[in-house]
């Protein structure tokens, strides 16, 4: 009997010791996610790889242990107040684009879109396999925010213009909605730059409050009706060769998650990067074809001399910003060093395919 009781105690003891860990692992969380984009927005709110798709993935993979309630722009807070809300802990998550927060830290823009920068594949390589994500965390540490990429549009279009841009002088005095680093480049060339949420772009363009506007690409732009307010569509995506959607998470809330839920969040966010980008690639071709054939849109690239000037000003603007702030310089130098290596490889991989093989079948 003593031997039997001793063996039973030995079997039960590990279970008793492990019990608290099991209880902790089953803790449930209820979070709020706000968004810089309005209700029903494809890609930014709903659809494959969207934030609401991400929420479904997290719910399924966590067995309901992490519930996230989504609020589009204006439903809980205004469109561009998500960064502060997450920083203060008012909400646990926000989806937007990091270049919206350039006024808080110039370096934030490198994690969204850099003019004449890397494409979507290069950007993901830098974030996941270079120092990109680590640097992003360093930049956001003072704001109590854990960042993650959660989407990518791929290359975007220059935008919509009431009159075509035929020479660099045509930019002077132009009133244009354009965010991020590109806005600073345009401003240096005399453009009156405006930062407007998506829902305000069409009415501003239609009423003549602005003369030109950039949003995303053919599918998203057509949905906003931008082609009804301007007919000249410049297709050269110099300003946003790859545009990352940001998932900002309150650091205290992030640290409260057990390891398995953190991995679920990171995995779901990474899946959304691929799903959202591939969705954009699948939908933009048809939309551009429709705009040109059926909507009277005149699509064309920017003249080469205009592009050359934009690149010249871009390099100067970035170098000046980097010289003013050690952290910006650290991010800047790392980004462009990584880009140099990516460019070498893509030149003999994708570059060769584009120039020599594509279109032969």
Tens digits of pLDDT across the chain (361 residues): 444 444 444 443 444 344 444 444 479 999 999 999 999 999 999 999 999 999 999 999 999 999 999 999 999 999 999 999 999 999 999 999 999 999 999 999 999 999 999 999 999 999 999 999 999 999 999 999 999 999 999 999 999 999 999 999 999 999 999 988 899 999 999 999 998 988 899 999 999 999 999 999 999 999 999 999 999 999 999 999 999 999 999 999 999 999 999 999 999 999 999 999 999 999 999 999 999 999 999 999 999 999 999 999 999 999 999 999 999 999 999 999 999 999 998 888 887 777 776 666 5
Strands (E), the chain: 29-35, 66-71, 93-96, 145-152, 159-161, 175-177, 192-194, 212-213, 232-234, 244-250, 298-300
pLDDT the model gives residue 16: 38
Evaluate whether 61 touches 68 at the Cβ level (below 8 Å).
no
Distance CA 220, CA 287 (A): 9
CA distance from start to end of the chain: 82
pLDDT the model gives residue 361: 58
Residue 42 is classified by DSSP as B
pLDDT the model gives residue 349: 86
pLDDT the model gives residue 5: 43
Q: Is 248 exposed, middle or buried (0-12, 13-18, 19+ CB in 10 A)?
A: buried
Which residue segments constitute the domains of the chain, with CATH numbers given? 29-149+236-356 (3.40.190.170)
Distance CA 72, CA 50 (A): 12
pTM: 0.88
Helices 132-140 & 120-129 angle (0-180, nearest 10): 70
pLDDT the model gives residue 12: 38
Residue that has been written with the tokens 């839920």 in this structure: 261
Residue 219 is classified by DSSP as H
pLDDT the model gives residue 360: 63
């Amino acid at each position: 009997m003593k031997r039997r009781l001793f063996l039973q105690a030995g079997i039960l003891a590990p279970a008793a010791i492990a019990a608290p860990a099991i209880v902790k692992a089953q803790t449930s969380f209820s979070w709020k996610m706000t968004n810089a984009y309005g209700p029903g927005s494809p890609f930014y709110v709903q659809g494959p790889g969207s934030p609401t798709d991400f929420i479904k993935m997290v719910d399924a993979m966590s067995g309901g242990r992490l519930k996230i309630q989504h609020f589009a722009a204006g439903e809980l807070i205004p469109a561009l107040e998500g960064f502060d809300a997450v920083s203060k802990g008012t909400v646990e998550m926000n989806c937007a684009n990091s270049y919206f927060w350039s006024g808080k830290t110039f370096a934030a823009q490198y994690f969204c879109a850099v003019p004449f920068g890397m494409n979507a594949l290069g950007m993901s390589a830098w974030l996941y396999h270079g120092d990109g994500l680590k640097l992003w965390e360093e930049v956001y540490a003072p704001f109590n925010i854990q960042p993650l990429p959660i989407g990518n549009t791929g290359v975007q279009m220059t935008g919509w213009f009431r009159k075509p841009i035929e020479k660099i002088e045509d930019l002077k005095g132009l009133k244009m909605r354009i965010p991020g680093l590109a806005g600073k480049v345009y401003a240096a060339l005399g453009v009156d730059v405006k930062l407007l949420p998506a829902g305000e772009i069409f009415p501003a363009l239609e009423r003549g409050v602005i003369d030109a506007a950039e949003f995303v690409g053919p599918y998203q732009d057509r949905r906003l009706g931008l082609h009804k307010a301007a007919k000249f569509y410049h297709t050269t995506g110099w300003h946003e060769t790859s545009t990352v959607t940001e998932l900002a998470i309150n650091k205290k809330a992030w640290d409260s998650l057990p390891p398995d839920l953190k991995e679920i969040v990171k995995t779901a966010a990474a899946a959304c990067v691929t799903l959202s980008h591939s969705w954009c690639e699948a939908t933009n071709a048809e939309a551009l074809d429709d705009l040109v054939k059926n909507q009277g849109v005149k699509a064309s690239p920017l003249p080469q001399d205009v592009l050359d000037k934009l690149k010249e000003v871009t390099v100067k603007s970035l170098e000046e910003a980097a010289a003013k702030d050690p952290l910006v310089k650290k991010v800047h130098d790392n980004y462009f060093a990584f880009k140099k290596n990516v460019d070498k490889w893509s030149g003999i991989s994708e570059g060769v395919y584009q120039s020599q093989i594509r279109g032969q079948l």
